[in-house]
A and B are shown apart, each in its own frame.
Chain A
Amino acid sequence: MDFSTIAAISTPQGKGGVALLRISGTEAFLVADRIFRPINQKSIGDYPARYQIYGSILSFDGATVLDDGLLTRFPAPHSFTGEDVVEIACHGGEVITAMILSALLESGAVLAKPGEFSRRAFMNGKMSLTAAEGIADLLDAKTEEAALLSSKAVRGKLSLEIQRICQLLLDAASSLWAYLDYPEEDLQSMSDSQMLTTLEDLLSSARRLLDSFQMGRAINSGIPAVIVGKPNVGKSTFFNHLLGEDRAIVTSTPGTTRDVIEYPLKAGRVLINLSDTAGVRTEASDRVEEIGIERAIAALETAELIFILFDQARPLEKEDRIVLEKVMEKKESAVILPVLTKSDLPAVLDLTTLPFAREEYFVTGEGVTDLTPLVGKIENAFISDEAALREGRILTNARQKSVLVRGMELVQEGMEQIRNGEKDVASLTLEAALAAFMEIDGKSAGEKILDEVFSRFCIGK
């Protein structure tokens, strides 16, 4: 880590109307002063804080005017990073912004590392860890819903929910602590059963938050999905239908899609990362295809959304059963969506032999273009809690999830210890649970967590 004054271009590379450069650190004003001449020839320090100063941006030697633009000073601690910050808005062009940046670097700033501005903001107590992670997600957001959700995290909705859980835990734990340290006083502290009820309440809030993880990911980073079915059931046709273009080679010879490639696609508010796999066959005809099948099985292992295809124009075959068996093993960890293909042909398949209710099927075939019913099914499966989504009570990354799970396990352990009369141990277990819940918000986050969080930032933010 380096605590010199840093600078970077905060807007994306490429051509744009306006570009923004940001400088942060104890020498930010000094650095900016060297390359910026306000229109009336005063120095930037003569203007009030957070005032937009119009002027010329100069090269380091002062010989050349590079551009004209607006400069704003944000004195510490009232800035994004909590340090002295300068923002310079100039014309958006790859070359001109790069020239201004090098002028800044020549004036004494160093190039900011990825995520360094946000890291400093966190270090200086300007934002919580969930807020910082929210910013990372906001930058990475691929869909509008994802952007909205991240922006809620930035505004601290998730922090609030975690604080509420911590408060419940504090209620129970503090009552236990008081009971142990003041055994003879009538403290009106909670009885064991009240304590257990409070902890149970806490757990159900935490569980809701945990359930929200899948929803959070469905919106933010996407759900790994796969299409399976016996050879020639119509996987590639269905795939192309979903993607709306001819991406895979479609032939009537089984086993022509061989490589697994992931395609992100939007189903309503849900983001899906669809794996394009080779046909699942019992006996692969050649080596290449064998690799394709292995990949398909691997994709199935990690999938959380499985489209299982049945040809309704044919009776249930041995290969259907093999695929079905494989898929049903995953029913705890993945959403399984049955699809009937070739609806343009006469129906032969006996649906009663399959473990799905009639309304669960999405029916497709030649001439079927409307995907709305399918989108509805996917949204139903993944957007489980509209209220949580509206309020931003959603976990969006794996670190938050694993810490939450640890906290929940500790609470459960503590409850068991209370039931066994091991109050001394319970008091410590609940203390550790509290530490875990607080860690979700980075209150006791170690260097490792920070590195992971901040490594996800793009430069300049």
Chain B
Amino acid sequence: MNAIEFFSGECQVAVVGAGHAGIEAALAAARMGADTILFTLSLESLGNMPCNPSIGGTGKGHLVYEIDALGGEMGKASDATSLQSRMLNLGKGPAVHSLRHQSDRRAYHHYMKTCCEETANLRLIQAEICEIRPIPEGYAVVTRFGARYHVGQVVVSAGTYLNSNIVVGDVSYSAGPDHSSPATFLTASLENMGIVFRRFKTGTPPRIHAGSIDFSRCEVQYGDEDPRAFSFYTDKTAFSEKEQKCCFVTYTNENTHQIIRDNIHRSPLYSGAIKSTGPRYCPSIEDKVMRFPDKTRHQLFLEPMGQNTREIYVQGLSSSLPEDVQNQVIRSIAGLENAQVMRTAYAIEYDCIDPTQLKATLEFKDHPGLFGAGQFNGTSGYEEAACQGLVAGINAALNCFGKDPLLLTRQSSYIGTLIDDLVTKGTNEPYRMMTSRCEYRLILRQDNADRRLIEEGRRVGLIDDTRYEKKKKLFSLIDSEIRRAENTFFSPTDALNEILKQQESQPVTGGVRLADLLRRPGISYEILVPVDENRPDYPAEVFERAEIEIKYAGYIKRQLAQAEQMQKLENRMIPADIDYHSIQGLRLEARQKLSAMKPESIGRASRISGVSPADITVLMIYLNMNER
């Protein structure tokens, strides 16, 4: 850094990096009234999707709904720029229904850029942040050109830009995603503050010109007939009338696999050139072929990159093989024989932190006012990034105003589960949200995200009165419909028994409660239309949600009881000055882990890997004795 430093201004919250995390952080802080600056290496890369052109999917869909419920932007942006909408996991139970949109990548970027530009209290500045250092009033944030800003709170959401390296075959060079400039100073500056970094790896597949693909050799995948929007704000009618684009499915074959095996020595993953940790759930094609030799084919999805481009994203073909091998691989695949590759697949390595250095507010335990969010924290995915950005931005603003922080528990949300996993268990690979990570998934559904989180959204100031009242109205309709279903009895008419017969459900001989009918497998509001004569005229959403609540009432009750039980352990706080090494009976590993992680509560301590139930017993006895 040669530039001469000069004072360039002040703000309450500075956000470093304008990816999906940074945007949500900056918008939330600014909307809450904090004077905010959002720094980005390049305004062209704001809200970029350097990998798959889609938002949502299993587990991730839940995150987007929750972001919307808290007053974030991602759901609205996705609705405004979607190309296709699909509800995944239908027929496997409502708790795992997951919405996914195909997105127009450039339109998404433009939407977010305009949104940031038009938000009050928010300044958007193109600059590389090279240094963050503590000063009495908070932090000094210094750009490459020497401009120094004095800020109260900093959110670092640097994505995959820190000392990033792109690797293709034996070619490796310093570059950020989409071959942009990397950030090469910030890691060292944060390391000076004692923050611990490690190196992760991820990758992206090639993009191919649609005109060179023979789609007749692929299976087509249409959007849903009843396309769903993520956001409450979106005009549902207009959304459902949008024209949807198709995706296509093709497969690798034995020939493809032979090409990969013949050239595996040229892969940087196998030659040892890449040593950093990649995600298990998102392996490169060479990894899939080598690790699962029995599989004769691997599925590939061809997804449009946008409305005004012919680029097609080949999901499933992520690779860091040399370009000539990639080309052979691509052309061995049905439909892609004459493929014209527009962007070569690459692997990217980058610096990220060990997230166990953070509190559940996403603030560094040892650096008040400094927050981390997104891939910088070791996660993967736009949605995972966005929700962390939202929480970090909200907490940065709450810090400015001296208000209580937003702490989302595992029992409250997928976001809470994600953050709890990160800060208590840490992660050894880029962390992806999955429904199976949520033990409370029956009560943490997409459909009730608003109900779970709206009070928090309102408390922090991101849900306005109009929206709040509208939501309250909706909730009361759902409740009154559930009451009606519990109190409505149908007589055992032939019409009813005919309906039941068609659904292979037991006919009834006496009066039967509507709610009890709905609890039967295969019986829904829709099927009961002919016999449910006094049904009120509510929006479809009311019946959909009432049906889930009624069908799952037993399970929901059970999970709520479990959640409450667990909450007791969460409320059992551990004093900050506890000396684990002085507690007799704690195993050495537990002492080390607990000393390093400093969990705030017994609940959190119980989830740290390497801490056994027996250790927790010892710890609780110790706390009991000391309280007496």
A residues bordering B, Cβ < 8 Å?
Answer: 1, 3-4, 122-125, 177, 179-186, 188, 420-428, 431, 443-447, 450
| A425 x B617 contact (CB < 8 A) | no
CB-CB under 8 A from B612, the residues of chain A are 125
Does B436 belong to the interface (CB within 8 Å)?
yes
Q: Which of A1, A183, A427 contacts B436 (CB 8 A)?
A: A427
CB-CB under 8 A from A450, the residues of chain B are 614, 617
Does B197 belong to the interface (CB within 8 Å)?
no
A182–B93 Cα distance when bound, in Å, is 15
Question: Which of B91, B587, B612, B614 has the most C-beta atoms of chain A within 10 angstroms of its own C-beta?
Answer: B614
CB-CB under 8 A from B587, the residues of chain A are 123-125
| A425 x B95 contact (CB < 8 A) | yes
| A423 x B613 contact (CB < 8 A) | no
Q: Which of A3, A185, A428, A444 contacts B299 (CB 8 A)?
A: A185
Given A122-B614, A180-B92, A184-B88; A424-B58 close (CB under 8 Å): no
Given A1-B618, A183-B58; A421-B585 close (CB under 8 Å): no
Given A3-B584, A125-B587; A180-B89 close (CB under 8 Å): yes
Question: With A180-B96, A188-B295 given, can you name 8 additional A-B contacts, CB distance below 8 Å?
Answer: A4-B584, A123-B614, A123-B618, A180-B58, A421-B93, A425-B442, A428-B559, A446-B617
Closest 4 CB pairs of A and B: A3-B584, A424-B93, A424-B95, A423-B92
CB-CB under 8 A from A431, the residues of chain B are 439
B570 to chain A, nearest CB (A): 17
Does B157 belong to the interface (CB within 8 Å)?
no
Does B441 belong to the interface (CB within 8 Å)?
yes
CB-CB under 8 A from A447, the residues of chain B are 617, 620
A413 to chain B, nearest CB (A): 10
A287 to chain B, nearest CB (A): 51
Q: List 29 A-B contacts (CB under 8 A).
A: A1-B585, A1-B618, A1-B621, A124-B587, A125-B587, A180-B92, A180-B96, A181-B59, A181-B435, A181-B436, A183-B58, A184-B88, A184-B301, A420-B521, A421-B91, A421-B92, A421-B521, A423-B92, A423-B96, A424-B93, A424-B94, A424-B435, A424-B442, A425-B93, A425-B552, A427-B435, A427-B436, A428-B439, A447-B620
CB-CB under 8 A from A3, the residues of chain B are 584-585
B498 to chain A, nearest CB (A): 22
Q: What is the count of residue pairs linking A and B with beta-carbon distances less than 8 angstroms?
A: 82
1/0 per residue B87-117: CB within 8 Å of A?
A: 0110111111010000000000000000000
Q: Which of A122, A124, A424 contacts B92 (CB 8 A)?
A: A424
A173 to chain B, nearest CB (A): 9
Question: Which of B434, B436, B552, B555 has the most C-beta atoms of chain A within 10 angstroms of its own C-beta?
Answer: B436
B130 to chain A, nearest CB (A): 39
CB-CB under 8 A from A183, the residues of chain B are 58, 88-89, 92, 98
CB-CB under 8 A from B584, the residues of chain A are 3-4
Q: Tell me if A's interface is mostly helix, strand, loop or mixed.
A: loop
CB-CB under 8 A from B301, the residues of chain A are 184
A3–B625 Cα distance when bound, in Å, is 13
A428–B91 Cα distance when bound, in Å, is 17
CB-CB under 8 A from B96, the residues of chain A are 180, 423-424, 427
A185–B301 Cα distance when bound, in Å, is 10
1/0 per residue B542-566: CB within 8 Å of A?
A: 0000000000100100010000000
CB-CB under 8 A from B98, the residues of chain A are 183
**Closest A residue, CB atoms, query B316:** A185
| A424 x B613 contact (CB < 8 A) | no
A451–B103 Cα distance when bound, in Å, is 58
A374–B31 Cα distance when bound, in Å, is 87
| A123 x B585 contact (CB < 8 A) | yes
CB-CB under 8 A from A123, the residues of chain B are 585, 587, 614, 618
| B58 x A182 contact (CB < 8 A) | yes
Given A428-B439, A428-B441; A186-B521 close (CB under 8 Å): no
Question: Which of A125, A420, A421, A425 has the most C-beta atoms of chain B within 10 angstroms of its own C-beta?
Answer: A425
A444 to chain B, nearest CB (A): 5
**Closest B residue, CB atoms, query A122:** B614
A440 to chain B, nearest CB (A): 14
A252 to chain B, nearest CB (A): 61
CB-CB under 8 A from B95, the residues of chain A are 424-425
CB-CB under 8 A from A182, the residues of chain B are 58
CB contact list, B396-449 vs A, under 8 A: 434-436, 439, 441-442
A15–B612 Cα distance when bound, in Å, is 42
**Closest A residue, CB atoms, query B521:** A420
A419 to chain B, nearest CB (A): 8
A421–B299 Cα distance when bound, in Å, is 25
CB contact list, B263-293 vs A, under 8 A: none
B431 to chain A, nearest CB (A): 14
Q: Which of A1, A422, A446 contacts B93 (CB 8 A)?
A: A422
A182–B434 Cα distance when bound, in Å, is 9
B6 to chain A, nearest CB (A): 51
A422–B553 Cα distance when bound, in Å, is 13
B561 to chain A, nearest CB (A): 13
1/0 per residue B206-227: CB within 8 Å of A?
A: 0000000000000000000000
1/0 per residue B232-251: CB within 8 Å of A?
A: 00000000000000000000
| B59 x A423 contact (CB < 8 A) | no
B421 to chain A, nearest CB (A): 15
Given A125-B587, A421-B91, A422-B93; A180-B618 close (CB under 8 Å): no
A197 to chain B, nearest CB (A): 20
